[in-house]
């Protein structure tokens, strides 16, 4: 019999077993609201796309032009 877990269920299981010992931090993404696990205690976004979405949202609110060229 094979046990099939979703990615989220697998990460939950790992978090419960090893979360406190391995420097694994549980966060909620500020852009999409998903729960994610990171090795950094100050992580704010679950992936690069969410980080970029939050950056563009901040730009729209401030009315500034994007950096770079």
| More reliable by pLDDT, 8 or 17 | 8
Rg (CA), the chain: 16
Residue 1 lies in a domain: no
Q: Within a domain: residue 22?
A: yes
Q: Which residue has the higher pLDDT, 67 or 10?
A: 10
Tell me, what's the pLDDT at 19?
59
- Whether 14 maps to a domain, the answer reads yes
Compare 35 and 21 and report the one with higher pLDDT. 35
Task: State the pTM of this model.
Answer: 0.61
> Smallest Cα–Cα separation from 40: which of 26, 20, 58?
26
Closest CA to 8 of 33, 34, 43: 34
Position 63 pLDDT exceeds 70: yes
Q: For residue 57, is it within any domain? A: yes
Higher local confidence (pLDDT), 10 or 54:
54
């Amino acid at each position: 019999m094979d046990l099939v877990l979703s990615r989220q269920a697998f990460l939950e299981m790992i978090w419960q077993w090893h979360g406190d010992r391995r420097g694994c931090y549980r966060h909620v993404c500020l852009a999409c609201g998903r729960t994610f696990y990171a090795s950094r205690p100050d992580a704010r976004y679950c992936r690069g796309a969410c980080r970029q979405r939050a950056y563009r949202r901040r730009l729209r609110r401030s009315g500034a032009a994007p950096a770079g060229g």
